[in-house]
């Protein structure tokens, strides 16, 4: 067991969710207000979480301390 564990970045913890299989989910921006000016297709896309892949996912997972 390592002597010094890496602490979880609290801002990352609030903005992203790490699934059981190790995928990263995040909430689309611009989904809280002024929804009348956005078309239905855009509102549907904003409503569902998105998955992050690639290099950014690895960096964010490191900040999770995993």
Smallest Cα–Cα separation from 66: which of 30, 20, 15?
Answer: 20
Q: What is the pLDDT of residue 6?
A: 86
Q: What is the pLDDT of residue 32?
A: 93
Q: What is the pLDDT of residue 33?
A: 94
User: pTM of the full predicted structure?
Assistant: 0.78
Q: Could you report the per-residue pLDDT of 11-50, keeping only the tens digit for each?
A: 999 999 999 999 999 999 999 999 999 999 999 999 999 9
Q: What is the pLDDT of residue 5?
A: 82
* Domain residue extents for the chain: 11-54
CB 60 within 8 A of CB 32: no
């Amino acid at each position: 067991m390592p002597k010094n564990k890496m602490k979880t970045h609290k801002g990352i913890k609030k903005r992203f969710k790490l699934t059981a299989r190790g995928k990263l989910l995040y909430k689309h921006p611009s989904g809280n207000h002024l929804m009348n000016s956005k078309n239905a297709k855009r509102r549907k896309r904003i409503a569902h979480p998105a998955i992050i892949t690639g290099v950014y996912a690895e960096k964010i997972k490191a900040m999770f301390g995993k």
